[in-house]
Chains A and B, each alone.
Chain A
């Protein structure tokens, strides 16, 4: 089997505050229709949101596992308050499912028991990978802003130590997190009395510049890119460089179809240009970007030989 066909497609954790019902429908469809191998579940952005979807968690896990997907539980990116520290401690006590850690508080709680490292862990280089591998890490998702040159060196180092290597290939890039909630701020509220206004923006709240140019998206305490990262044209090089897992971040589009386009291109069943055209159709007017990968401004779309 060609290496590309062995490459795993993953679905990252939902970054937004989708309602419990939306999540149930979403994961039912992923289980039934999406050719993804692994699914990350859990609230990564805001600890206030977690109680809304925790009641459905075990049903969702069961549903996805019955469909043959591997489920991994992702941790919060920011851990400061008592409830966040407690949540991290409980997650790190998980047995039977893999966990993905996004904050050093989790490394402390997990010790040397096996764990994955999420994109918020800032694993940028081979020295950090070697350190983490010695502490029980089995898998690393690299930060979204890493250029191809660094990804290649990091992936090789991780593979040599037996770690899985993951890179986000679809969806808005996470550009920053804060202690302050910008959704609440936009509505004249604070984080403690937010009224969960973030639920109104299932694909993030758009910010535009004074001259009306789309620039960023607000998702609670997180700031995201306006553009969707799309590394479909770059998948061949990612795989050749040693990346084992490609991550799709859930957006408010038909994610089962997005996954199908990536899978078909990876398996050689669909020409890259056709898969790319299909993605374009699925994502409406949202701009695509791959600048970070090419060492350029993240918002840019650099034409590659494969799709030119």
Chain B
């Protein structure tokens, strides 16, 4: 049986130390700019912070993966190249990339450092994955969140690299790296700027009847009753009307989080080499609780015991969870 690694989010140096202390095998993080897909205010690392964080992680036997997983717009490629060079100099253990130009640069300039293919590249077939492996020497692919476990098992047999899947956290609905919904409403791009439903464009309006509506860039994304907790206005989790759905419905998905804690043994059996926890934008206490719970679960499974994952539903978005596409084709 393979020993699945636990890959944990680090939005800040404090979260990185928390994740390492809670038992992360590796943490992933990025710089404070558009070179990574969580380019949010107050998040991410300066080069000096990354240097100290790499030392901290390495001292405790954990790896540090650098996210360079956005798509540089023409004319700005140097920013991504410099980020790669800086990461290499600071001793990171792997790059996570999506853009082929960036992959090509890293593969040629930093041969000794592992290359992981980001979920943002949306490589969802053995052929697509093999393209990246053969041309850029990719060692691991992060699979899009659209495959069932039997499908993952089939992919695993046909690719020459390790595979990583998301197991917990935000549940993106769109093919990763192919979504410009945020740019359509706000003028900031997920692919080019690393931004999704930016907080600077979010407003909550309380109406006379006590109800609250959430808006993104002036567009109403959802409405909540006086006693409901108002959710964050992410476009693909919004409520809209259609010609035959005048009552309003979640056209894409309800505000739910991915939680595959019950499927871990099956995923390991299908050949998944690494489990990824989403949430670089989440708090230290969230990171501690989620990483600890999954650390125990993975250790139990490795030791042949049945895993008893603590109830994490209170930590999920809208306190609702899903197994998404992993459980059944009916999700599609």
Contacts and interface: CB of A to CB of B under 8 A. Distances in A.
Contacts of A213: 219-220
B186 A124 contact: no
Contacts of A9: none
Interface string B79-110: 00000000000000000001111101100000
Interface string B151-183: 100000000000000000000011101111101
What is the predominant secondary structure among interface residues of chain B facing chain A?
mixed
Interface residues of A, number: 75
A205 interface: yes
B123 interface: yes
A108 B133 CA distance: 11
B111 interface: no
A210 B245 contact: no
A202 to B, nearest CB: 13
Given A145-B192, A190-B332, A297-B187, A79 B175 contact: no
B195 to A, nearest CB: 12
B25 interface: no
B14 interface: no
Nearest to B147: A80
Interface in A67-126: 77-80, 84-85, 88-89, 103-105, 107-109, 120, 122, 124-126
A105 B240 contact: no
Contacts of B223: 210
A271 interface: no
B329 interface: yes
Contact of B219 (A154, A192, A215): A215
A182 B75 contact: no
A125 B183 contact: no
Contacts of B121: 104
Contacts of B12: none
Interface stretch (B42-50, B60-68, B246-254, B279-287): B246-254
B170 to A, nearest CB: 15
Contacts of A210: 213, 220, 222-223, 239-241, 248
Interface of A: 77-80, 84-85, 88-89, 103-105, 107-109, 120, 122, 124-132, 135, 143-147, 149-154, 157, 173, 175-182, 185-187, 190-192, 205-213, 215-216, 218, 223, 225, 291-292, 295-300
